[in-house]
Amino acid sequence: MADTVENNNQSDLFGHPRGLFYLFFAELWERFSFYGMRALLTLYMIQEIFKALVERDTATAVVYASYGSLVYASAVIGGQISDKILGMRSSIFLGGILMSLGHFVLAIENNVAFFLALSFIIVGNGFFKPNISTFVGALYPDGDTRKDSGFTIFYMGINIGGWVAPLLCGWLAYTYGWHYGFGLAGIGMLTGLIFFWSGIKKNVFGDKGLPPNIEVYEKKVIGIPQKTLIPILAVLSAPLIAFILSSWQDNYVSLIFKFVGFGVLAYIIYIMSKVSLAQRKKLFMALLITFFMTLFWGFHELSGSVITLFASRNVDLVFFNASQTNSFNSMFIVILAIPISLLWGYLSKKGLNPRTPYKFGLGLVLAGVSFYILGMSGGSADENGMVPMAYLFVMYFIISIGELFMSPVGLSKITDLSPKNIVAFMMGVWFLSSAYAFQIVGFIGEKLAIESTDANVGGLDTLQVYTDGFSLIAQYSLGAGLVVLLFGPLMKKLLGNVH
Ligand code: GLN
């Protein structure tokens, strides 16, 4: 009887493993908290934390970039610890608790609390994000053709969170105060954890996500079992990270990243030297798509920084406030995710589904086109340097199509292309692409910084800075996309059926 119940709980729902829907809602709420907070972050720094500084745009750009880089880089460590010690379930719990702690600390009005809060979110995300994504992959047996669409569904969960959160948190922040917005983000994260927990209670995950080796899990180091020691160390690392973030003039993160990149690359090359040729080709492809993804996110992730500032200073906003414009991207993803995934299915049947590198090349081209549109917006500005909101809307529409050509495809590919014992680590490397992307975001943010303490900064000069910047980004992105497309045939030759 018990057996039947267990089997029932692991049976399919809408043609997918039941566990997917619990992960879907857990991630939906986690991303709700993440993007709700992100929509407020840049404006909060400009208007509160750094408001007295003339170089407040620069400070904000550096902290935003450092936060973004660390929030995704921590995924490498979280992925490793999960693979070796904690397993996905404990990692997801630990991450979720730390993230909600971070969001609630953010609701305290104080600069020290601000940096500490960001640090908790950074460490928490490291445990949560790579592991919940790997968990999705683990629900499907090897070679299961439903995996891609499983990731598409999961990606919709991410973006339902990313769509609704800026609208609600942005509204709360503008109407009642920043801290209400941040507080709501924290509640979102707790809700995510409750979903995950209920999935475990209902036994929808079977034996997936348990610690890889229970002896290692329980093993004592300095008298404390590892399963307890890791959460303690995670909490203790927060003040150190807070210090790094608050020393924005030194930009330590940028320095650290220069070294980390080489380290990770060296490690992957080492792994590549140990595996079979077939496996090596796969890892090479995984590296390649991670690299292209970095460029794409480097432009795309400007949405929470420079584009939010542009929206607040130079866009004639109707109905939405500047924070809320952060919801556009996710809204388009939710609308387009299923049609585009159906398109891949349809093309597959006809034998015409483009190889991954072509999808990635096209994604970069689309990002270029989207920035080209923002760059053009200057031509329609009024005498106060305000441009119609339609430009922003169309820009997000186009870049979202590009995102769907790359991100969910890549997520699914990474779990396919990596050897089983390092799949969470590779997922971490995948997220490292977002981490490096934030260094690009920081670089651009500093270049497009406006030096002023005027709360109403804007006008034609400011517009010129932004539109020139966007046009330049458009050229880089288009150029990179075209190079990828041109090298497609060569990759096919080198890598054969690996794509
Ligand atoms: N929007 C996606 C998410 O939140 C991807 C973000 C990223 O990796 N930069 O998962």
Q: Name which residue sits closest to atom 6 of ligand 1, judged by CA.
A: 434
DSSP state of 48: I
What spacing in Å lies between the alpha carbon of 406 and ligand 1's midpoint?
11
Q: Phi and psi dihedrals of 110, rounded to 5?
A: -165, 140
Q: Name which residue sits closest to atom 10 of ligand 1, judged by CA.
A: 158
pLDDT digits (tens, 9 = 90+) for 328-375: 999 999 999 989 988 988 998 898 888 888 999 999 999 999 999 999
Tell me the mean pLDDT in the region 78-83: 90
Residue 5: pLDDT band (50, 70, 90) is very low
Shared fold status for 1-250 and 260-499? yes
What spacing in Å lies between the alpha carbon of 129 and ligand 1's midpoint?
9
Instruction: Give the pLDDT confidence score for residue 8 in this predicted structure.
Output: 47
Instruction: Please indicate whether residue 31, judged by its CB atom, sits closer than 6 Å to ligand 1.
Output: yes
User: Rounded CA gap, 424 and 77, in Å?
Assistant: 10
Which CATH number applies to 1-250: 1.20.1250.20, 2.60.40.1250, 3.40.50.300, 1.10.420.10?
A: 1.20.1250.20
Instruction: Give the pLDDT confidence score for residue 272 in this predicted structure.
Output: 87
Residue 2: pLDDT band (50, 70, 90) is very low
Instruction: Give the pLDDT confidence score for residue 4 in this predicted structure.
Output: 39
Higher-confidence residue of 320 and 413: namely 320
Higher-confidence residue of 479 and 1: namely 479
Instruction: Give the pLDDT confidence score for residue 10 in this predicted structure.
Output: 64
Tell me the mean pLDDT in the region 67-79: 92
pTM of the predicted protein model? 0.91
Pocket test for ligand 1, best of 434, 436, 441 (most atoms within 8 A of CB): 434
Say if residues 65 and 256 touch (Cβ distance below 8 Å): no
What spacing in Å lies between the alpha carbon of 463 and ligand 1's midpoint?
28
Domain locations in the chain as residue ranges = 1-250, 260-499
Alpha carbons within 13 angstroms on the beta-carbon side of residue 450 total 24
Has residue 426 got a pLDDT over 60? yes
Helix (H, G, I), strand (E, B) or coil at 224: strand
Instruction: Give the pLDDT confidence score for residue 45 in this predicted structure.
Output: 96
Report the atom number in ligand 1 closest to the C-alpha of 31.
4
What spacing in Å lies between the alpha carbon of 35 and ligand 1's midpoint?
10
Mean pLDDT of the residues in the chain: 91
Helix (H, G, I), strand (E, B) or coil at 220: strand
Q: Name which residue sits closest to atom 7 of ligand 1, judged by CA.
A: 434
pLDDT digits (tens, 9 = 90+) for 175-227: 999 999 999 999 999 999 999 999 999 999 988 999 988 999 999 999 999 99
Which CATH number applies to 260-499: 1.20.1250.20, 3.40.30.20, 3.20.20.30, 2.40.50.140?
A: 1.20.1250.20
Instruction: Give the pLDDT confidence score for residue 320 in this predicted structure.
Output: 97
pLDDT digits (tens, 9 = 90+) for 233-251: 999 999 999 999 999 999 9
Q: Which pair of structure tokens corresponds to residue 84?
A: 């070796």
pLDDT digits (tens, 9 = 90+) for 82-119: 989 999 999 999 999 999 999 999 988 888 999 999 99
pLDDT digits (tens, 9 = 90+) for 254-290: 999 888 888 888 888 898 898 888 888 888 888 888 9
Q: Are strands 387-388 and 315-316 parallel, antiparallel or unpaired?
A: parallel
Q: Name which residue sits closest to atom 8 of ligand 1, judged by CA.
A: 434
Residue 9: pLDDT band (50, 70, 90) is low
User: Rounded CA gap, 222 and 226, in Å?
Assistant: 9
Instruction: Give the pLDDT confidence score for residue 433 in this predicted structure.
Output: 87
